[in-house]
Amino acid sequence: MAIDILLVGSVAYDSVETPSGKITKALGGSATYAAIAASYFARPGIVAVVGRDFGTKHINMLKQRGIDLDGLQKDSSGDTFFWAGHYEGDMNRAFTRETRLNVFERFDPVIPDSYRRAPYVLLGNIHPSLQLRVLDQVRKPKLVFCDTMNYWIESEPKLLAEVFKRVNVVCINEDEAYQFCRTSSLPKAAEELMKLGPNRIIIKKGIHGVVMFGKNSFFSLPAIPLRQVKDPTGAGDSFAGGTLGRLAKARSVNDNSFRRALVAGTVMASYCVEDFSCRKTIKLTKREIDSRTRQIRSFTRIP
C-alpha cells in the first residue's frame, strides 16, 4: 500500500526524568512521534536509522499502528541514537544530560522508490544537509513541511535558509523564529521567513498554543489546558505529525484544511505530554481524538 506521508527524522531511545517520574531507554525520536500521530489520519512511512539494539517489540508496535517501515534502515555496526535529559518546573526547556548519536552519525536518508512519490513530506528535525538530500530525491510532492530546532539555527543558518527556500511550510518554535529572524515581532519574523519561499509559517508556542501565518491570513489556536504534564518530549513532533496526517486525510491544502489540521496536531500533542514516551499516543481511540477536537472547538468559540 502506497504511503501518504514521507517522514524523515530520528528513531531513538530516550531516558527522561521529569517532576512526574522517569523512564529509561524508552522509544523516542522525531520520526517516531510524528509517525504515530500521523497514523491516526493517514498512512505514514518512516525514513530513519536504528542500531543493533533496536527491539522487534518496537518494530511491531509501529507496524501495528499502520506505519510503513520499508524506509527504516538497520545499521548493525552500532546502537540506536540515544538521548538522556530532564525537565524542571514548568518543563518549558529540556536539559540534555547525554547525547550518543551512535548509528545516526552515519545516517544517509535514502528514500526507497516506493516513497518517492509520497504527496506529503515531513522533514523532521535533522541536519539541514540531510533535509536537502531528501528534497533531491522526492518527486513533485504536493506539500513539504519542515521542522527544525535552535541547534541548526545556530550552527547552520545558511544551509537552513536553503531548506526553507524549497519547502511549503516551516514549522518552528516561537523562540527559534525570533532567533532566526533577529526580531522580537512575530508578524515580522513570519514575513521574513515567507520571503525565503514558504507560503505558510506555523509557530509553536508550547502551552500558549500555535499560530499560523499565511500570505494573507492569520490563525491562532490555543493549547488544551492540562492539569498534568508528565513529559513534554515529542510534543512538537506529535503536533507536526498530527497536522500533516490530517492534511493528508483531507487531500487539500487550503486555509480551511490547514486550520482543521492544526486542531488535529494540537490534540495529538496534548495526549503526547500526558504520559512518558509514546505510551499514550500509541493507543488512542477515535473517541478520544474526537472528544478533544470538540473541546478545542468549544474553547475557542466566539458567540
The answer for residues whose C-beta is within 8 angstroms of residue 130's C-beta and 6 or more apart is 8, 107, 108, 109
Q: Which is nearer to its own copies, 106 or 251 (CB)?
A: 251
Region label for 123, one of left (φ > 0), alpha (ψ between -120 and 50) or beta (otherwise): beta
Q: Hey, what's the cell of 136?
A: 533531491
Stretch that binds its own copies, among 106-114, 158-166, 192-200, 227-235 (CB under 8 A): 227-235
Task: Please report which residue ranges of the chain form alpha helices under DSSP H.
Answer: 30-38, 56-64, 128-137, 150-155, 157-165, 174-181, 186-196, 235-250, 255-272, 286-300
Q: Which is nearer to its own copies, 160 or 261 (CB)?
A: 261
Is residue 211 close enough to count as binding its own copies by CB under 8 A?
yes
Site size toward its own copies, by CB under 8 A: 34
Binders in 156-195 for its own copies, by CB under 8 A:
184-188
Binds its own copies (CB under 8 A): choice among 22, 52, 116, 208: 208
Stretch that binds its own copies, among 10-18, 69-77, 108-116, 225-233 (CB under 8 A): 225-233
Binds its own copies (CB under 8 A): choice among 64, 150, 155, 300: 300
Region label for 206, one of left (φ > 0), alpha (ψ between -120 and 50) or beta (otherwise): left
Binds its own copies (CB under 8 A): choice among 15, 162, 219, 282: 219
Is residue 90 close enough to count as binding its own copies by CB under 8 A?
yes
Q: Which is nearer to its own copies, 77 or 216 (CB)?
A: 216
Binds its own copies (CB under 8 A): choice among 96, 256, 286, 287: 256
For residue 171, the minimal CB distance to its own copies (Å) is 17
Q: Which is nearer to its own copies, 56 or 228 (CB)?
A: 228
Terminal-residue alpha carbon distance, the chain: 44
| Strand arrangement of the beta sheet that strand 72-75 belongs to | 72-75, 44-51, 5-8, 120-123, 143-147, 169-173, 200-204, 210-214, 218-221
Q: What is the DSSP letter of 234?
A: T
| Contacts to its own copies by CB under 8 A | 89-90, 184-188, 205, 207-209, 211, 213, 218-222, 225-229, 256, 259-260, 263, 296-297, 299-303
